[in-house]
């Protein structure tokens, strides 16, 4: 009989060492996310005014001699913008038995909640660069359905018009113009019993003769009204629902940028042309009197930048600088001309395989410069909510959610090029 101890035999009388927690596997790096400021806002949207692009303030004043009698009275013009918050959300469902047999090393609920929170953060990171706000399609209808809750429909229309700033509408049948948007007026003109086919348009949908929203109307025994929508009516109904329920997602940097014509659609291989393009991007940022807060590119772009430096032996131009993160820690990144370079693997390449580069500024708390993350002031950051037990399954649900968005306060503070 052998007296030699084997690994198999030892495994019978001992347990493997267990490391507490879960070892994370991160496949996409976004250093910029650690420095992006977030501002809490009231309401579900932030409205702000930008100076009109292309208007030079020098044109608002003039030089005069002592005999002049005319003083320049031109006014600064502005464009109004609005950014809505969106919801990123996920439910962590954990079986009761799985939670009950867990150990101090692994709390099943905590692990799933942490994974959901990480997912929310990564989802935001992606939308921050590549996001596009799209209408969600909640409560859409198809075909030419009958609407039995007419009062609810009229209230929805009233709410959508109020949200869109519409206060009056015109009638083509009677020729009346500027009819006030009220619940009483809308009910008469939308329930199919009044002058519905005389409404010229609402929310940009033509509803005049030949394009009526209501094809027929009827009353039930209890006096309630039902209406049948036409194809135009269905389009209008869905637009009303979209206006009420808002957008899914938000516009990221790729959708917000307006200065996007610097560099080349194919990868630049000449170091001189490369640094000229990078310098041009930096010079185009005029939001803070030329001060630039960041350069952001994919890891491919960072490697390309480092390679270009090596090719010209640019000692001293690739300095490393320390950046304070939102967590309070310090992160070391490369820099160029005193501007930190952040690696962000969510930045896409161009169709011609060139690397996109974002250059810009970050808001300083005044809501007038660069970009800033947005969140609900009364529910800021990622929220964890205990929902409780499912009715027909032995499992508990914990909801993880984040009300968030992104704003670009100045078009002069965001530039994208390709190198």
> What's the whole-model pTM score?
0.76
User: Are 311 and 266 in contact, with CB atoms under 8 Å apart?
Assistant: no
The 3 state secondary structure assigned to 119-174 is: HHHHHHHHHHHHCCCEECCCCCCCCCCEECCHHHHHHHHHHHHHHCCCCEECECCC
Residue 234 and residue 273 in one domain? no
Instruction: Identify whether 187 is part of a domain.
Output: yes
Instruction: Identify whether 13 is part of a domain.
Output: no
The distance in angstroms from the start CA to the end CA of the chain is 72
Residue 202 and residue 170 in one domain? yes
Instruction: Identify whether 70 is part of a domain.
Output: no
Residue 211 and residue 342 in one domain? no
Residue 311 and residue 267 in one domain? yes
Residue 106 and residue 173 in one domain? no
Residue 378 and residue 340 in one domain? yes
Instruction: Identify whether 192 is part of a domain.
Output: yes
Tens-binned pLDDT, residue by residue, of the chain (419 aa): 555 555 565 555 555 555 555 555 556 788 999 889 999 988 778 887 777 666 677 877 888 877 777 787 777 777 777 788 889 999 999 998 888 887 566 788 888 998 999 999 999 999 999 998 887 777 888 888 888 887 888 888 888 888 888 898 887 766 678 889 998 888 777 755 454 445 777 887 876 544 456 655 554 444 456 777 778 888 888 888 888 887 788 999 999 998 888 888 888 899 999 999 999 999 999 989 889 999 999 999 999 999 998 888 765 556 888 888 777 788 899 999 999 999 999 998 776 788 999 999 999 988 889 999 999 988 888 999 999 998 899 999 999 999 999 999 988 899 999 99
Instruction: Identify whether 8 is part of a domain.
Output: no
Residue 182 and residue 317 in one domain? no
Residue 82 and residue 220 in one domain? no
Instruction: Identify whether 318 is part of a domain.
Output: yes
The domain boundary, picked from 245, 273, 304, lies at 245
Which tokens sit at 43?
């309401």
User: Are 277 and 264 in contact, with CB atoms under 8 Å apart?
Assistant: yes
The CATH number linked to 347 is 3.90.1690
HSE, side-chain direction, 13 A CA sphere, residue 87: 12
The number of domains in the chain is 2
Residue 305 and residue 183 in one domain? no
The secondary structure of 34-83 as a DSSP string is GT--EEEESSSEEEEEEEPTT--GGGG-----TT----------EEEEEE
Domain of residue 97 covers 29-52+77-136+252-419
Residue 321 and residue 358 in one domain? yes
């Amino acid at each position: 009989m052998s007296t030699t101890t084997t690994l198999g035999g030892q495994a019978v009388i001992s347990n493997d060492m267990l490391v507490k927690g879960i070892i994370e596997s991160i496949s996409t790096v976004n250093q910029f996310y650690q420095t992006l400021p977030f501002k809490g806002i009231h309401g579900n949207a932030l409205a702000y005014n930008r100076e009109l692009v292309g208007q030079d303030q020098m044109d608002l004043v003039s030089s005069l001699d002592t005999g002049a009698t005319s003083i320049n009275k031109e006014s600064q013009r502005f464009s109004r913008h609005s950014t809505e918050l969106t919801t990123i959300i996920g439910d962590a469902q954990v079986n009761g038995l799985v939670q009950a047999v867990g150990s101090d090393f692994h709390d099943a609920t905590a692990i799933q909640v942490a994974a959901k929170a990480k997912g929310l953060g990564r989802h935001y990171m992606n939308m921050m660069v590549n996001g596009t706000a799209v209408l969600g399609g909640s409560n859409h209808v198809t075909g030419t359905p009958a609407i039995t809750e007419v009062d609810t429909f009229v209230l929805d229309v009233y709410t959508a018009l109020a949200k869109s700033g519409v206060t009056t509408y015109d009638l083509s049948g009677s020729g009346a113009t500027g009819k006030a948007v009220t619940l009483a007026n809308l009910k008469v003109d939308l329930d199919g019993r009044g002058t519905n086919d005389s409404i010229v348009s609402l929310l940009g949908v033509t509803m005049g003769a030949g394009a009526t929203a209501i094809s027929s109307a009827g009353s039930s025994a209890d006096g309630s009204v039902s209406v049948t929508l036409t194809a135009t009516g269905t389009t209008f109904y869905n637009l009303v629902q979209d206006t009420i329920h808002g957008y899914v997602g938000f516009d990221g940097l790729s959708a917000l940028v307006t200065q996007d014509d610097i560099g080349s659609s194919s990868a630049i291989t000449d170091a001189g042309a490369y640094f000229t393009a990078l310098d041009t991007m930096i010079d185009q940022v005029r939001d803070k009197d030329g001060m630039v807060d960041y350069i952001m590119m994919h890891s491919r772009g960072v490697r390309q930048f480092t390679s270009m430096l090596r090719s010209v032996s640019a000692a001293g131009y690739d300095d490393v600088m320390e950046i304070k993160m939102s967590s309070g820690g310090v992160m070391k990144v490369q820099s160029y001309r005193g501007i930190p370079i952040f690696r962000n693997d969510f930045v896409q390449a161009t169709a011609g395989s060139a690397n996109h580069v974002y250059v810009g500024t970050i808001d300083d708390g005044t809501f007038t410069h660069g970009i800033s993350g947005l969140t609900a002031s009364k529910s800021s950051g990622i929220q964890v909510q205990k929902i409780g037990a499912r009715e027909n399954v032995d499992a508990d649900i914990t909801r993880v959610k984040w009300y968030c968005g992104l704003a670009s306060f100045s078009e002069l503070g965001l530039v994208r090029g390709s190198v």
